Structure 1
Amino acid sequence: MDYRHLGRSGLVISEIIYGNWLTHGSQVENDAATACVHAALDAGITTFDTADVYANTAAETVLGEALAGQRRESLEILTKVYWPTGPKGHNDTGLGRKHIMEAIDGSLQRLQTDYVDLYQAHRFDVTTPLEETMSAFADVVHSGKAHYIGVSEWTADQIRAGAALARELKIPFVSSQPQYSMLWRVIEEEVVPASAELGLGQIVWSPIAQGVLTGKYKPGQPLPEGSRATDDKGGSNMIARWMRDDVLERVQGLTPVADELGLSMAQLAVAWVLQNDNVSGAIIGASRPEQVTENVKAAGVRIPAEAMARIDEVLGDVVERDPARTKQDMPRKRAVA
Structure 2
Amino acid sequence: MPTRSLAGGGPIVSTLGLGTMTFGVETPEEEAHRQLDLFVARGGTFVDTADVYGGGASEEIIGRWGRRRGGLGDLVVATKGRFRPPPGSHGASRRGLVRAVEASLRRLQVEAIDLYFVHGWDRHTDVAETLATLQDLVRAGRIHHVGWSNLAAWQLERIVSTARAGGLPAPVALQPQYNLLERGIELEVLPCCLEAGIALTPWSPLGGGWLTGKYRADVRPSGATRLGENPARGVEAYDLRNTERTHVVLDVLRAIAERHDRPMAQVALAWLLARPGVASVLVGARDAQQLDANLGAADLVLADEEVAALAEVSAPGLPAYPYAFLETWSQLDVWRRLGT
Deviation at 1:102, TM superposition (A): 0.4
Partner residue, 2:64: 65
Aligned-residue offset at 1:114:
0.5
Aligned with 1:178 (options 176, 181, 206): 176
Q: Deviations over 1:211-252 (max 9, x none)?
A: 1100001111241410010335x9823421644142553244
**1:329 corresponding residue in structure 2:** none
Number of aligned positions between the proteins: 316
| Bigger mean CA offset, 242-251 vs 289-298 | 242-251
The aligned residue for residue 4 of structure 2 is 4
- The Cα of 1:196 is off from its aligned counterpart by 1.9
Corresponding position of 1:132 = 129
RMSD: 2.2
Gapped regions of structure 2 (runs ≥ 5)? 320-340
Q: Is the 8 A contact 1:217 1:248 kept in 2?
A: no
% same residue: 30
Q: Which residue of 2 aligns with 1:283?
A: 282
TM-score, structure 1 normalization: 0.87
Amino acid at match of 1:125: D
Contact 1:186–1:321 (CA under 8 A) maintained in structure 2: no
Q: Give the aligned residue type for 1:279.
A: V
Tell me the residue number matched to 2:16.
16
Corresponding position of 1:297:
296
| C-alpha deviation, 1:3, in angstroms | 0.1
Query: Does residue 1:250 correspond to 2:248, yes or no?
Result: yes
Local SS of the residue matching 2:280: strand
Indicate the SS of the match to 2:275.
Answer: coil
Distance, in Å, in 2 between the alignment partners of 1:36 and 1:177 is 22
Asked if structure 1 preserves the Cα contact closer than 8 Å seen for 2:222 and 2:229, the reply is no
1:208 is matched with: 206
Q: Which whole-Å CA distance do the structure 1 matches of 2:233 and 2:167 have between them?
A: 41
Q: Distance in 2 between matches of 1:251 and 1:190?
A: 23
Tell me, in whole angstroms, the C-alpha distance in 1 between the residues paired with 2:51 and 2:71. Answer: 22
Q: 1:280 to 1:235 in 2, by over 3 A?
A: farther
Contact 2:138 2:144 in 1 (8 A): yes
The aligned counterpart of 1:333 is: none
The one of the two structures with greater contact order (alpha-carbon pairs below 8 A, sep at least 6) is: 1
- The structure-2 alpha-carbon separation of the partners of 1:321 and 1:76, relative to structure 1 and needing over 3 Å to count, comes to farther
Pick one of 146, 168, 187 that aligns with 1:189.
Answer: 187
Shift of the 314–189 alpha-carbon distance from structure 1 to 2, 3 Å rule, reads: closer
Q: Which amino acid is 1:153 matched to?
A: N
How many Å apart are 1:141 and its aligned residue?
Answer: 0.8
- Mapped partners of 1:160, 1:192: distance in 2: 11
Mark the CA change 1:315 to 1:161 in structure 2 (over 3 Å): closer, same or farther: closer
Which residue is 2:338 aligned to? none
3-state secondary structure, aligned to 1:78: strand
Letter in structure 1 aligned against 2:25: S
Deviates more, 1:52-61 or 1:254-263: 254-263
Displacement of 1:13 in angstroms is 0.5
Unaligned runs of 5+ in 1: 323-337
Instruction: Give the TM-score taking structure 2 as reference length.
Output: 0.86
